A and B are shown apart, each in its own frame.
Chain A
Amino acid sequence: MKDPAPYRRPYWNTQPEYLFPKYASTVKRAPAQPLVVLPHTLSEVTAPVFGHDDIKPTDGDLTKQHPGEPLGERIVVSGRVLDEDGRPVPNILIEIWQANAAGRYHHRVDQHDAPIDPNFSGAGRVLTDAQGHYRFLTIRPGEYPWRNHHNAWRPAHIHFSLFGRGLMQRLITQMYFPGDPLLDYDPMFTCVADEKARARLVSTFDWETTMPEYALGYRWDIVLRGREATPMENRR
């Protein structure tokens, strides 16, 4: 069997390092020994496949999971999943989770003094369609304090988990909102030096997907790693 084409290594300063002391939790959890460069074998270029049997058609609507309406501003979050060559990534599983409109997570660890919304759990999932499109209906999450440093606040964000066609495309990231004044103070948003890479974590307001008299639209495209054009000799 021919060696599979490996996935492209990250472009300089566009992916975080493990140790980033401004984000205090990295200090005791980042590896300290040298990493071993992994060749991309069949084990790395394959990935699990998920289908419509794995999720419910309503899993993409976070506003309809309880008898009542959640509090807050309804939003549509949609976009496309592409690879670095601009090709759509179809039929992959996206999972999201987020705080409610008051900035509180439905989680025992979250002790922030803000109300739980009994009508909002804050989790959803969808599969991308044949052109890589995805769409969620949710509530705009609130900002919230955390204990990383004095008076630390997280900008509003939605957590995204994506599978790809290959395991090396697996990505967990966060989507932010345009114009959020907390972004520049946030050690997660600023964990990479490349300004353009940071900017790509921020969604844009989108009139086209805004639903009249119902919900504002935010658009966010996600890019997964692409592959080298030709199978290369494996790296050593």
Chain B
Amino acid sequence: MSLRATTSQTIGPYLRIGLEWMQIEDLAAPGVAGERVAIEGTIVDADGRPVNDAAVEIWQADSEGRYASPEDPRATSLDRAFRGYGRSLTDDAGAFRFRTIKPGPVPGPGGREQAPHLVVTIFMRGLLKQLVTRLYFPDDPRNADDPVLGLVPAARRGTLVARKQGDARLEWNVVLQGKHETVFFDF
């Protein structure tokens, strides 16, 4: 039996009605192991205008590099206090924010290790399907060998690496279109 996946449609401007109940901006509850990090950023459109109606979702491994998912074959010893999922709805300034932990490295293609990263999914009015991108951590030597970053043209790789803004604070902005456009993936 072969079916075809249902067509994606835009989240539209009224996403808060359906999604606000589960806004999860703090993933790092007390007791969760790992190095704490605050991530903040804004989303801007082709004219540099802030996008105030986006849903930003993150998905990440725990500090040991394990996903809290039955699809991770190593998930038996996963950190149960850490789900690894976050959702932030942008405010009037187009800003989103998370407080989380830096994930451990996870296995990648052909047994190569992937550098610590978050998978970021973005929905908004004006997008008929989600954008998928990744956030990597600054000053991590493993970025140089990351198999996914390696697929990105060198000149654009920087758009996927957050900037250090002081102690345990990172800034990562999303540019939807234009000269400094963030790298988005065909997923």
A53 CB to closest chain B CB (Å) equals 11
Task: Looking at the assembled complex, report how far the CB atom of B68 sits from the nearest CB atom of chain A, in whole angstroms.
Answer: 7
A106 and chain B: residue at smallest CB distance: B17
Q: Most chain-B Cβ atoms within 10 A of its Cβ — which of A15, A42, A161, A236?
A: A42
Query: Which residues in window 50-95 of B have CB below 8 A to A?
Result: 51, 53, 57, 59, 61, 67-74, 83-85
Of chain A, the residue at the smallest CB distance from B72 is A46
Nearest A residue (CB) for B107: A1
Interface string of B1-42 (1 = CB under 8 A from A): 111111111111111111101100000000000000000000
| A95 and B19 in contact, given A49-B68, A109-B14 (Cβ under 8 angstroms) | yes
B102 close to chain A: CB less than 8 A: no
B152 at the interface (CB under 8 A from A): yes
Partner of B68, one of A48, A172, A224, A236: A48
B126's partner among A3, A28, A38 (CB-CB below 8 A) is A28
Q: Is the interface of A mostly helix, strand, loop or mixed?
A: loop
- List the A side residues contacting B119 at CB < 8 Å: 43-44, 167
Q: How many A-B residue pairs have CB under 8 A?
A: 244
CB proximity of A212 to chain B, nearest CB, Å? 30
Q: Are B11 and A16 in contact (CB under 8 A)?
A: no
User: Is there a chain A Cβ closer than 8 Å to B147's Cβ?
Assistant: yes
CA of A110 to CA of B22 in the docked complex: distance in angstroms? 22
Interface bracket on A:
35 or more
Taking Cβ atoms with an 8 Å cutoff, the residues of A that contact B are 1, 3-4, 8, 10-11, 14-18, 20, 23, 25-33, 35-39, 41-49, 54, 82-86, 95-97, 99, 105-107, 109-110, 121-123, 125, 159, 161, 165-168, 170-174, 188, 191-192, 196-198, 200-201, 222-226, 234, 236
Q: What 9 pairs between A and B have smallest CB-CB spacing?
A: A97-B18, A25-B126, A16-B128, A48-B85, A46-B69, A86-B1, A38-B185, A29-B126, A35-B186
Q: List 14 A-B contacts (CB under 8 A).
A: A11-B5, A15-B8, A27-B46, A41-B114, A43-B117, A54-B22, A84-B3, A85-B3, A86-B2, A123-B17, A159-B11, A172-B8, A188-B128, A201-B7
